Amino acid sequence: MMIAHRIALDPNNVQATYFARAAGTARFAYNWALAQWQRQYEDWKGNNALPKPSQMALRRQLNALKREQFPWMLEVTKNAPQMAIIQLGAAFQNFFAGRARYPKFRRKGVHDRFSLTNDKFSIDGSRIRIPGLGWVRMRETLRFTGKIMSATISRVAERWFVSITVDVPDSSHLPQAENQGVGGVDLGVSALAAVSTGEKVSGPKAHTALLRRLRRLSRSLSRKQKGSARRGRAKVELAKLHARIACIRSDALHKLTTHLTRRFHTIGVEDLNVRGMMKNPHLARSIADMSFFEFRRQLEYKADMRGGQIVVADRFFASSKTCSACKHKLEKLPLHVREWTCPACGTTHDRDTNAAVNLCNNAVSSTVSVCGEEGAGPRRKTKTKPASVKQEVSGRFAQN
C-alpha cells in the first residue's frame, strides 16, 4: 500500500533559494518537453517514418543539449528535470487512457515543485538530506515505516513542504473499525454530513467565512502595479489566505472521515454528480466550499485501510424522496423543503436524516450477495462497492 506523508519544512534562506531554483528548473524542463512533444507528435502524424515522441527520448535530448544551451540547470539536482519529464510521460499515458485531460504548461507560482527518487535523498529523524544542499529540518518525523519510494518538495504560499511516498507492507498502523453496524452519510450544503444515527455535522464553510477578507485582498492586489514589490507582497498575502481556507477545509474533512471510518465498518454514500451541481449559479460556491469529492476520496482510502468498505448508491437513487419507514416515494421534493410528512404512513422526516437512513438501508441490502456477486467480507478486492442491482430491474436504473 502506497501512503504519502506531507511534512512542512523549515529551510533557511539559502535552502529556500535552492528549492525555488530546483522548482523553476523542473517547471522549465516540463514545459520544454511538452512543447517538444507537441511538435514531434505533429511531425510523426505527417510522417510515420519519424520516431514517435516519448519521455525517455526527450530526457536524452535534454541531457545532450543542456550543458551548452541551459548551463544553469546544472546548479540543482539532476532529478528535478528528469522527474518532471517522467511525470509528463505519465500525464500523457493517463490522457491516452482516458483517465485525465491533456497536459497543460506549468505556471510559476502555481506549480512550484520538484521530485526526487529514493536514492537521491535520505531521512534521519526530523530532517531530510537533499542532494547538493545538505540537511533540511522537517517539522515532524515520518509517521510510516516501510520502503521510501520518492519525495516531492512543493511551495504553498511561501511555505515549503515535502511529500514522502512510502510503500508500507500493510495497514496495521491503524486500528480496525469499531463495527457499530452499517452507517449512511448524506452530504449537503446547510450541513456537511447527516448520519443515519441522527447526527448532523456542520461544515466549516471557510471560504464563506473569509470571503469578505478574500475580496479585500483581491481588490488590493488588482490595484498594484505589475512587477512592483508591493504587488509581490500583496500576492503572498492573498496566497496565504487561500492556503488558510484550504487547511481549514482539509482539517474538518480529515476529522470527519476519520471519525466515521472508526465507527462504521460499512458506510453508504451517494454517487453525486458534483460537476452538474456546480452549474447551479446559486449553490456553486457553497458546494465547492464543502468539497464533496475530497470527502468521498478520504472516506474510501481510510475505510480500506481500516478493513471497511464503502457502498456507493446509484446516482438516480431517490434517497431524499423515499420514506425510510414505508418506502413510499414522492413525485417531487423541492430543495427548499427540509422536512416532509409521508402521505402513506404519516411519518415526519428530516430531509437529510431520511436520506442518510435510506443510504444505510441500501448499504445493508447490497452487502448480501445478489446474482453471484462477491461477498462483503472485511477485506474486499475493491475498496468501493457499488450498490447491488437485481436482474428484474428495468428502465434507466438497470445495469448490464
Give me the sheet containing 127-130, strands edge to edge: 122-123, 127-130, 134-137
- Using pLDDT thresholds of 50, 70 and 90, give the confidence band for residue 260: very high
Cα gap 63→33, rounded to integer Å: 12
pTM: 0.81
Dihedrals phi, psi of 389, to nearest 5 degrees:
-130, 125
SS3 276: helix
Cα gap 195→201, rounded to integer Å: 8
- Using pLDDT thresholds of 50, 70 and 90, give the confidence band for residue 2: confident
Q: What is the DSSP letter of 233?
A: H
For the chain, percent of residues with pLDDT exceeding 90: 56
Q: How many CA atoms are closer than 13 Å to the CA of 187, on its beta-carbon side?
A: 26
DSSP 99-119: SSPPP----TTTS-EEEEETT
- Mean local confidence (pLDDT), 259-263: 91
Is-catalytic flag, 270?
Answer: yes
- Mean local confidence (pLDDT), 236-260: 94
Would you say the C-alpha torsion 82, 87, 93, 96 has a positive or negative sign? negative
- Mean local confidence (pLDDT), 339-344: 88
- Mean local confidence (pLDDT), 245-260: 93
Q: Return the amino acid letter for 264.
A: F
User: H/E element holding 7?
Assistant: strand 2-8
At residue 306, the pLDDT reads 85
At residue 168, the pLDDT reads 87
- Using pLDDT thresholds of 50, 70 and 90, give the confidence band for residue 344: confident
Catalytic residue among 186, 300, 304, 314: 186
At residue 382, the pLDDT reads 43
Contact call for residues 397 and 389 (beta carbons, < 8 A) = yes
Is-catalytic flag, 170?
Answer: no
Contact call for residues 269 and 239 (beta carbons, < 8 A) = no
Kindly tell me if the per-residue pLDDT of 373 is higher than 70.
no
- Using pLDDT thresholds of 50, 70 and 90, give the confidence band for residue 327: confident
Cα gap 117→151, rounded to integer Å: 7
Kindly tell me if the per-residue pLDDT of 383 is higher than 60.
no
- Using pLDDT thresholds of 50, 70 and 90, give the confidence band for residue 163: very high
Catalytic residue among 112, 300, 304, 352: 352
pLDDT tens digit sequence for 50-98: 888 999 999 999 999 999 999 999 999 999 999 999 999 999 999 999 9
Q: What is the DSSP letter of 201?
A: E
Strand locations in 271-398, DSSP E?
309-313, 339-341, 348-350, 384-386
- Mean local confidence (pLDDT), 205-216: 94
Cα gap 1→162, rounded to integer Å: 19
At residue 190, the pLDDT reads 85
At residue 368, the pLDDT reads 61
At residue 28, the pLDDT reads 97
pLDDT tens digit sequence for 264-275: 989 999 988 888
At residue 65, the pLDDT reads 92
pLDDT tens digit sequence for 122-133: 999 999 999 889
Catalytic residue among 270, 289, 300, 304: 270
pLDDT tens digit sequence for 94-115: 999 999 999 999 999 888 999 9
Is-catalytic flag, 112?
Answer: no
- Using pLDDT thresholds of 50, 70 and 90, give the confidence band for residue 40: very high
Q: Where are the domains of the chain?
A: 2-167, 182-397
At residue 385, the pLDDT reads 52
Q: Which of 67-71, 302-306, 383-387, 396-400 has the lowest mean pLDDT?
A: 396-400
CA-closest candidate to residue 241, choices 267, 225, 217, 259: 217
At residue 324, the pLDDT reads 87
Mean of all residue pLDDT scores within the chain:
87
Stronger pLDDT, 10 or 276, i.e. the higher one: 10
